[in-house]
Structure 1
Amino acid sequence: MSEHFDVAVLGMGPGGEVAAARLLKAGKKVAVFERELIGGECAYWACIPSKTVLRPPEARTEVQRAAGVSGAEVNWQETAKYRDSMIRDLNDQAQVDGYADEGAVVIKDEARITGPGQIQAGDREVTAEHIIIATGSDSVIPPLEGLDQITAWTNRETYTASTLPGRAVIIGGSAVGVETATFLARFGVKVTLVHRGERLIDREDARVGELAHQYLQEAGIDIRLGTSAARARRTGTDSIIELETRNGEPVGEVAADVVIFGTGRKPRTEGLGFEHAGVKLGDHGEVQVDEHCRAGDNTWAIGDVTGIMPFTHVAKYQGRIAADAILGRPHAATYGGIPRVVFADPEIAAAGLTHEQAESRGIRTAAAELDLAKAIARPWTYEQDPRGHLGLLADTDAKVLIGAWAVGPMAGEWIHHASLAIRTRLPIDTLLDQVAQFPTYHEAYQVALEKLDLH
């Protein structure tokens, strides 16, 4: 005999957690399904552990660059111990108990949709008025001859490692690759970063990739652009990657203790019966949704599984959107200006459109770039030989900001000034009238805005 609920949430990563909490608070009868750990990829194998282990070397860099202070050293054993506490030692019992205390029925099994409003999880059958799909995504390791011979890691092995390798090859120069290279190099690992593109972090403006390249090289990372892994093999204890250009020409090989794949993720939809709820999948397996995250009749999808913006903060936002629609207070999701941060050293942040994206939409633009050390005081009070750049992109007809990027200390914090301006389409005249605290990095916006030629 099946149990009936108001809402069933399939997947309890950050998006699923936000939706479930909102619905429980509103008094709904909720069942939550999680095949692994409540908290999902982010809490145990990605965002939380990665940012935790990136912080100690960042702090050491801050000490090394500040005047009149010295002696900071990183300790991997202590860092790993704290990381393990942050990821709850891969134990979610407290979260299971917490949701049960809030009135949810927690089912620790993979859920499969068997019909409209019908779910099967193991030997348990459940029906629900509404279903929220929040099944996330899986790491993608591209086909590679000899893959089974080498020690291959994804983010999961990397960010739960008890012992760090002496040498690592990282395949992929996106945000994951750049963060992973930063982390490992700062802990003394010899890192080679292989990227098939012509620049790092190629979702952003070219200048961002240039600056990221510069700072990674300064950290001692060997960067190979326009290069792909052709084959793999093991020689003794070495994992060997044979390299080739985009045209298939051999360009040598690199040996390491581990090969880490930061080659993207794919929505986790296969074999879960979503078609039985009228859900349609896109070309990359993503669940197609409308502006309210509706995927079908009384069926919703949030987070990575939608393929819209695979960020934790977007999953949480979509969790609010879907829950509010179910609760009868719908409001459409908008994705303009949402920040994108790479926690490198220094941080890399962006929001809104790139110049290339704006050009493809036929928008007349004006751009400005600022070397922070030449424009404001805060970089000099923060560190010796200060680092940092800010780029702005404006719509010259509408006189609003449409894009921004920043590379510098704490950029992930002060990019939100631009993010809010882009999302709300604040007039540039209004932004120019803002008064920033002295001395802060936010002052850079005033100087950069005045450099824009809006005529």
Structure 2
Amino acid sequence: MAEYDVIIIGAGPGGYVCAIRCAQLGLKTACVEGRETLGGTCLNVGCIPSKAMLHASELYHEATTNFTKMGLMGQSPSVDLPKMVDYKQETVNSNTGGIEFLFKKNKVDWIKGYGSIPEAGKVKVGDDTHTAKHIVIATGSEAASLPGVEVDEKVVVTSTGALELKKVPNKMVVIGGGVIGLELGSVYSRLGAEVTVIEYQDAIIPGADGEIQKNFLKLLKKQGIKFELGAAVSGTEVKKNKATVSYKSRKDDSEHQIDADIVLLATGRRPYTENLGLDALGVEMDRGMIKTDAHWATNVKGIYAIGDVIAGPMLAHKAEDEGMAVAETIAGQKGHVNYGVIPGVIYTHPEVANVGKTEEQLKQEGRKYKVGKFPFMGNARAKSHFAGDGFVKMIVDAETDRILGAHVIGPMAGDLIHEVCVAMEFGAAAEDLARTCHAHPTFSEAMREAALACGDGAIHA
């Protein structure tokens, strides 16, 4: 038995960041993790490996479509998927090893195994029980299931299996038109698979700005990805390493079937709280999520929760912010997360990014607003990169000019969005951003132009 100030259960982005921050603040800290490596789903089988595959497949696409346009002549590359998977794994190993180094550097104890909470102040791992003044639950999430769809991670796969395929499938069906499905669907579409996305809603990336949804769909279709929207999947059947997906149109109840070599189930994720002992402890839950107050505390004294197990977007950076904030709260400081300024990114090509309010939300709230837009076709750097598709859309308060949100579809959108995040954190107006000098030529000039469009008008549009 060991005694700690804080024990964090789970070493994903929320958990490991929380552990390091606790240690930096002088708290004796341990982190419980049952995987062989640290980093949770994100670093091991989620964010990082998928971005490696997206990067590799995008370079392949560039080499086979745009190189000759730039005078780069020669034989086109071929795809060696096992080698690409090895590259992906090397990227993962480098990142997870880095977290282990940071634990040692900050004197965080890694308790290897899966933890449960037999009572407040105690964490049981295997046969050992450790005590802690504070316990933080950061156990993350798992892929959501769908009735009639049985995952075997060989033919019917989740994102985990999709990152370990031995060969590029001829036909892939993606169930779910959200971030995970579109990113991994894009990977295999670029590598040569015929990809069909089946989405229950009438639009992809549900909840996103409507204009972004429509334009993103057009661009993905242009890339060769097929879509069945407003369709409810009723089941999958696997025979001789092939799958048949059955679905029904929500418009006219017509039934359809489609064959595939690989089916990717990407209908979202759900909080993972099994075997923690929460029921016996009396921890309050809300629709499968752990209920917390404004300081990430549960109803049981000394037990906190962060990340995917509580309400809010299931994003690694949201969990990281909560991890730092709860650590500071435990240490007696004023931990804070601004939930109104949490960006979201889809790492397809073009990228899609957003922060703050959508037009649809503001209309529902009855708030008066203005919109400034700027197309990437007006950006010199974007055109030189064959990346003129898409636009920046900035939304501001009609009276104060304060930035309420931004939505970007285009090159480097995931990096560009943070200019607006910083502006929103400081309560900036669009004019503040518009009057800030931006280097030329850069993609970021499109952000300034959209801010200008909220006033007297963009220069290059």
Q: TM-score, normalised by structure 1?
A: 0.92
C-alpha separation in 2, matches of 1:130 and 1:149 = 37
Instruction: Pick closer, same or farther for the CA change 1:327–1:394 going to 2, 3 Å.
Output: same
Give matches, 1:243-282, under 5 Å.
243-246=247-250, 249-275=253-279, 279-282=283-286
Equivalent residue number for residue 78 of structure 1: 83
Contact 2:376 2:391 in 1 (8 A): yes
Alignment length, in residue pairs? 449
Contact 2:194 2:225 in 1 (8 A): yes
Deviating more after overlay: 362-371 vs 197-206: 362-371
Instruction: Pick closer, same or farther for the CA change 1:251–1:389 going to 2, 3 Å.
Output: farther
Equivalent residue number for residue 15 of structure 1: 14
Equivalent residue number for residue 459 of structure 2: none
C-alpha separation in 2, matches of 1:337 and 1:369 = 20
Compute the displacement of 1:367 (Å).
1.7
Compute the displacement of 1:237 (Å).
3.5
C-alpha separation in 2, matches of 1:346 and 1:445 = 16
Instruction: Pick closer, same or farther for the CA change 1:250–1:231 going to 2, 3 Å.
Output: farther
SS in structure 1 at match of 2:286? coil
| Deviant stretches of 4+, over 6 Å | 91-94, 145-150
Equivalent residue number for residue 56 of structure 2: 56
Compute the displacement of 1:57 (Å).
2.3
Equivalent residue number for residue 292 of structure 2: 289
C-alpha separation in 2, matches of 1:148 and 1:298 = 39
Compute the displacement of 1:453 (Å).
6.3
Equivalent residue number for residue 31 of structure 2: 32
C-alpha separation in 2, matches of 1:367 and 1:73 = 43
Quick one: percent identity of the two aligned structures?
A: 28
Gaps of 5+ in 2: 457-461
Compute the displacement of 1:62 (Å).
4.2
Contact 2:376 2:383 in 1 (8 A): no
SS in structure 2 at match of 1:446? helix
Compute the displacement of 1:11 (Å).
0.4
Equivalent residue number for residue 453 of structure 2: 451
Contact 1:150 1:232 in 2 (8 A): no
Compute the displacement of 1:354 (Å).
0.9
Amino acid in structure 1 at the alignment position of 2:83? E
Amino acid in structure 2 at the alignment position of 1:59? L
Q: Does 1:344 align with 2:348?
A: yes
C-alpha separation in 1, matches of 2:325 and 2:184 = 32
Q: Does 1:143 align with 2:147?
A: yes
Instruction: Pick closer, same or farther for the CA change 1:309–1:222 going to 2, 3 Å.
Output: same
Amino acid in structure 2 at the alignment position of 1:45? V
Q: Does 1:321 align with 2:319?
A: no
Equivalent residue number for residue 106 of structure 1: 110
SS in structure 2 at match of 1:295? coil
Compute the displacement of 1:252 (Å).
2.0
C-alpha separation in 2, matches of 1:248 and 1:127 = 59
Equivalent residue number for residue 41 of structure 1: 41
C-alpha separation in 1, matches of 2:450 and 2:206 = 23
Contact 2:141 2:271 in 1 (8 A): yes
Amino acid in structure 2 at the alignment position of 1:118? K
Give matches, 1:364-403, under 5 Å.
364-373=368-377, 375-383=378-386, 386-403=388-405
Equivalent residue number for residue 425 of structure 2: 423
Q: TM-score, normalised by structure 2?
A: 0.90
C-alpha separation in 1, matches of 2:357 and 2:265 = 28
Deviating more after overlay: 158-167 vs 173-182: 158-167
Equivalent residue number for residue 237 of structure 2: 233
Amino acid in structure 2 at the alignment position of 1:44? N
Compute the displacement of 1:102 (Å).
4.4
C-alpha separation in 1, matches of 2:229 and 2:70 = 35
Compute the displacement of 1:116 (Å).
1.3
SS in structure 1 at match of 2:285? coil
Instruction: Pick closer, same or farther for the CA change 1:147–1:32 going to 2, 3 Å.
Output: closer
Gaps of 5+ in 1: none
Instruction: Pick closer, same or farther for the CA change 1:410–1:101 going to 2, 3 Å.
Output: closer
Alpha-carbon displacement from aligned partner over 1:367-394 (angstroms, at most 9, x marks no partner): 2332221x332222222x7222111111
Equivalent residue number for residue 337 of structure 2: 333
Equivalent residue number for residue 177 of structure 1: 181
Compute the displacement of 1:98 (Å).
6.0
The Cα RMSD (Å) is: 2.5
